[in-house]
Amino acid sequence: MNSKEDLGQLLQTAGIDVIIGPKNWEKTGARRERTELEGWNREAHSAPAAFILRDSRGVGALDLEFSEGGALKALQSRSVPVSAEDTLYDVEYDQLKELIFQHFFGSKEFLLPDIRRLFTDAERPRLQYSQLDLKNILVSVLKEKTGTELAFMKIQPFSSTILGDISASMFKTWLGEDDKVVKAWVPGSLLRALAPKFEFKLPPGTDGYNKYRAGDYFAVAGLDSEQRISGLPVKDEEFYLAAFPAGLLRETGKYPQLKAARIAGYGELTLNALVTGYLTDLKNGTAGGGWEAAVKKLVENRPERRPVWRLNLRDLSIQANDTGVRHTENFTQVSDSRLRTTGQTYIQGSGKLFSEYYNGSLRLDTGLSANYGQTTLRPKGLPDVKTESVDQLLLESELKYQFLRYRGFLGPMVLGPFFNLAYDTEFTSQPGLPKRKVVRGRTGMKLFEGAYLRELYTGLVTEQIYTYSPARTKYAAEAGFALNMLLPGTALTLNADGNYRNFARSRFDTAADLKQRLELNFKVSTKLYRDVLISPFFNFFLATGKLAHGTATNIMTGFSLNYSHLFKLKH
């Protein structure tokens, strides 16, 4: 018999009279099994008549008893006593047994403490390390040693469990097959694809062995059950520095999002060497209950919300076109418009660069936004004509505070108050008008940090207008939104934002003052190369005046090349 399963099947198979069993750890023993055969044929049996118990030498005996008439009366299995020539065998036996014991239990070189000492205050005592407990330890150590934002790996169950302290030898058998450690920038879309497979908690009283044998599940460190990293939501288009076993890179068939991963390097140590070395140092470097507390922290695998500082180049785009014509005077009757056009130059660019700082429930964004567009016509014999399509330079800082988590049809978001202070100006003043100079303050409530809906807010606005002398103050109510999402079934990303502002009336109102303004911006992007996007866009602006009649609109459509990059300075 090769396994316990084979023995179990034979014991339940009818028609077998004698089974010779596997070897056991007894040298010899007094164990006896006797079967009386009188009336055997008249009874129903689900087991063999005799089961020979072999000792560790592979030796066993079966005695047959016959009646006076010569019929078989009984069967008795027994062990064979050790003889004098077995003395050498006894020594070899003891040595082999000691080697096997040391292989599994070690020579008091323990890497993990008895889990019963870690959770003494639990309602239901923990008796043994579960499959998830072990993997939580591995991914926690992996994240800590590689300095990444998160770490994850498949849960490959182990069948051997023991009580008490866990020796180095036993721990190494739990680790199983070794693998290299890889660091890579992985897209948020991969984490979303793996989200149903991430395991955060096991039901009480289970070890997960059968569950993890039936399908692929992952242990993860750095990501919480709400799909947040350092308190921030996972975004499909954002890349995260992750550590994981290199073997996962071979599974792009299962997880096609892995194809977009950008390899940052391979670790100097393999996974098993890295983890065992860390646990050894952890045990030797702590005293008293420090070892148990440190291992408990690894088992619990609770993500820490550390300060995060990022430099975000949210957008950089430019469009330029120059048309020059010469000696076209004699071609005015030609229908080709390229010979009849006027020399002109068109240029438009935009950029947004922000510093983003997160610390607990506070978030501070400070940055610069610039938009400028100009068309210059150069008619022959006449002065150049310049027209600005957009001209804005905005320096702003916004402080947000999170005090309530929200989860609804919009997905997980947080709610809190915000305060925004901005200086709004322009590169060049309009002909006949002073240069725009506005200090704007906004405050209100905002839903923010959503996976798709980045923000949804309402609040009050005050503007100190320094464009004119003397300066004036205006008040308004404002509402706005911003969203970013992958369009289902496509490789397109939709970016949209907008705001509506309604100004209060004042006895100092002039023709230059607006009553209402509505701004909507839509852009659909797809990757051209890495962080370079090609994006058709649609911008809409509407305004009504307090004294001016009618409604003015500005609609702009077109295509642009956009570049964006997130520099994660501290994570």
pLDDT per position as a tens digit, 289-308: 688 889 999 999 988 878 88
Same domain membership, residue 551 and residue 434: yes
Last residue in a domain, options 267, 300, 333: 300
The contacts of residue 400 (CB under 8 Å, 6+ apart) are 362, 363, 364, 365, 416, 417, 418, 446, 448
Q: Is residue 300 within 8 Å of 132, Cβ to Cβ?
A: no
- Copy the structure tokens of residue 106: 């070690």
Give 77's strand partners: 33, 62
State residue 30's pLDDT score.
47
In the prediction, which pLDDT does 258 show? 93
Tokens of 331: 């071609």
Domain of 156, in residue numbers: 110-300
- What does the pLDDT read at residue 485? 86
- What letter represents residue 103's amino acid? H
Position 115 in a domain: yes
Is residue 55 domain-resident? Answer: yes
Asked if the structure places residue 206 within a domain, the reply is yes
Q: Say whether both 122 and 246 belong to one domain.
A: yes
Tell me which H or E stretch contains 138: helix 131-146
Residues 532 and 419 in one domain: yes
Calculate the alpha carbon distances from 442 to 162, 459, 526 in Å: 61, 7, 33
* Per-residue pLDDT tens digits for 479-490: 999 998 888 878
Angle 531-535-538 from CA coordinates, rounded to 5°? 145
The pLDDT of 532-548, averaged and rounded, is 90
Identify whether 88 is part of a domain: no
Last residue within a domain, chosen from 269, 300, 331: 300
What pLDDT does residue 470 have? 84
Please compute the mean of the pLDDT values over residues 538-558 and round it to a whole number.
Answer: 89
Residue 369 domain-assigned? no
Rounded to whole angstroms, what are the CA distances from 92 to 27, 79, 98, 105, 259? 12, 19, 10, 20, 55
What is the model's pLDDT at position 60?
75
Chain-centre distance for alpha carbon 271: 20
Average pLDDT over residues 148-154: 94
Of 265, 300, 335, which closes a domain?
300
**pLDDT recorded at residue 8:** 65
> What pLDDT band is residue 190 in, cutting at 50, 70 and 90?
very high
Q: How many domains in the chain?
A: 3
Residues 6+ apart with CB under 8 A from 239: 185, 186, 187, 188, 262, 566
Q: Are residues 481 and 553 in the same domain?
A: yes
**pLDDT reported for residue 278:** 92
- CA 37 vs. chain centroid, Å, equals 67
- Pair 173, 158: CB distance under 8 Å: yes
Looking at residue 416, what is its pLDDT? 95
**Domain shared by 9 and 61, yes or no:** yes
Residue 149 has pLDDT above 90, yes or no: yes
The 10s digit of each residue's pLDDT in 319-367 is 877 777 777 777 667 666 766 777 888 888 999 999 999 988 899 999 9
| Position 377 confidence tier, pLDDT thresholds 50, 70, 90 | confident
Could you tell me what percent of the chain has a pLDDT over 70? 84
Q: How many whole angstroms separate alpha carbon 35 and alpha carbon 49? A: 6
- Please report whether residue 366 resides in a domain: no
d(C-alpha 262, C-alpha 244), whole Å: 13
Residues 163 and 287 in one domain: yes
- Which range (4-13, 22-31, 256-265, 428-437) has the least confidence? 22-31
CA–CA distance, 291 with 542 (Å, rounded to integer): 65
Residue 97's pLDDT is 60
- Rounded Cα gap, residues 200 and 139, in angstroms: 12
Say what percent of the chain tops pLDDT 90.
36
| Higher pLDDT pick, 434 / 498 | 498
CA distances from 255 to 155, 193, 199, 217, 460 (A): 16, 8, 17, 13, 46
Average pLDDT of the chain is: 83
Tell me, what CATH number does 245's domain have? 3.90.780
For the cut 90, the answer to whether the pLDDT of residue 499 exceeds it is: yes
The reported pLDDT for the residue numbered 31 is 54
**What is the C-alpha to C-alpha distance for residues 406 and 412, in angstroms, rounded to an integer?**
6
Q: Are residues 14 and 137 in the same domain?
A: no
- Beta strand extents in 277-361 (DSSP E only): 308-323, 343-359
Is residue 507 in a domain?
A: yes
Beta strands in 303-452 (DSSP E): 308-323, 343-359, 362-378, 385-401, 404-408, 411-425, 437-448
Mean pLDDT score, 239-249: 94
78 lies in the same domain as 114:
no
Residue 486's H or E segment, with its range, is strand 472-486
DSSP 7-75: HHHHHT-TT--EEEEEE-S-SS----EEEE-TTGGGS--SS-SEEEEE-TTS--EEEEEE-TTS-EEEE
**Shared domain check, 145 and 241:** yes
Region 4-9 average pLDDT: 63
The verdict on 551 and 510 lying in the same domain is yes
Q: What is the mean pLDDT of residues 375-393?
A: 85
Dihedral of the alpha carbons of 285, 288, 290, 292, in degrees to the nearest 10: 110
**Is 335 among the domain residues?**
no
- In this prediction, residues 130-146 reach a mean pLDDT of 93
Per-residue pLDDT of 66-120, as tens digits, reads: 887 777 788 877 777 666 555 545 556 666 665 665 555 555 678 888 888 888 7
Same domain, 149 and 272: yes
DSSP-derived 3-state class of residue 309: strand
Range 393-410 average pLDDT: 88
Q: Are residues 58 and 181 in the same domain?
A: no
